[in-house]
Amino acid sequence: MSENTNNRLYLMITITNRVMGATHFLDFYRAFGAPVVFTALGRGTASNDILNTLGLEATEKSVMFSVVTPAVKDVLMRELVDTMRIDRPGSGIAVCLHLSSVGGRTALNYLISGKSDAQPDMSVKEEELMNDSPYQLIVAITNTGYTDTVMEAASAAGARGGTVIHARATDAENANKFFGMAISEEREMIFLVTSSDKRADIMKSIMEKAGAHTEAQTVTFSVPLDDTAGLYSTEN
């Protein structure tokens, strides 16, 4: 594995049955090195006609997000098949996207280790640009009730809007803290798509006005987007 790959972080997204996601998969992630998992509720999108034809019922889903190092990613992707049998029909799906940056060392440490003061065994820089792409997806995870604060900070730096989903932090039974403040169990995940030239300013604004040192306790990271649809520029 090259040095550049060793320095890369990944966003792992796992979608599975809600009952399994709330129990087995969370225990699995913790056991194999991913202590911080954000879980959002979802629903299968297959039409009623397809479900009736297959003799199936509409299923509620758990969508789990976790930031992992290359070593943890390799273990999880292998064990998802060997241990969790995610390759069986109807069991779920998992994907990994490499991150382009993480907003601040405290957030970086927390996301991959569950502790804001940990020293991860890797040399990635918290705001290092890891991929050259015209557009970026910024993900901001904040305490419930602070979405407006985050969006005001993002808008001040050029963000044009976002999408919010409710999530639940499942890290070590809420035992961790940022700057002496307990981390809220109920969280909001805000998804912002922006041009790459605005990414750094938007993340900096969020960190300054709603970051880990504030009551919002927002952590941010970004993902490079290879392709986009529905975006337009102010010049067009």
**Domains of the chain in sequence order:** 3-98 (3.30.70.120), 104-225 (3.30.70.120)
Going by pLDDT thresholds of 50, 70 and 90, the confidence category of residue 44 is low
pTM metric for this prediction = 0.63
Residue 53 CB partners (closer than 8 Å, separation 6+): none
Going by pLDDT thresholds of 50, 70 and 90, the confidence category of residue 129 is very low
Give SS3 for 116.
coil
CB-based contact 68:76 (threshold 8 Å): yes
Q: How far apart are CA 43 and CA 36, in angstroms?
A: 23
The pLDDT tens digits for 150-179 are: 999 999 999 887 778 887 766 544 445 544
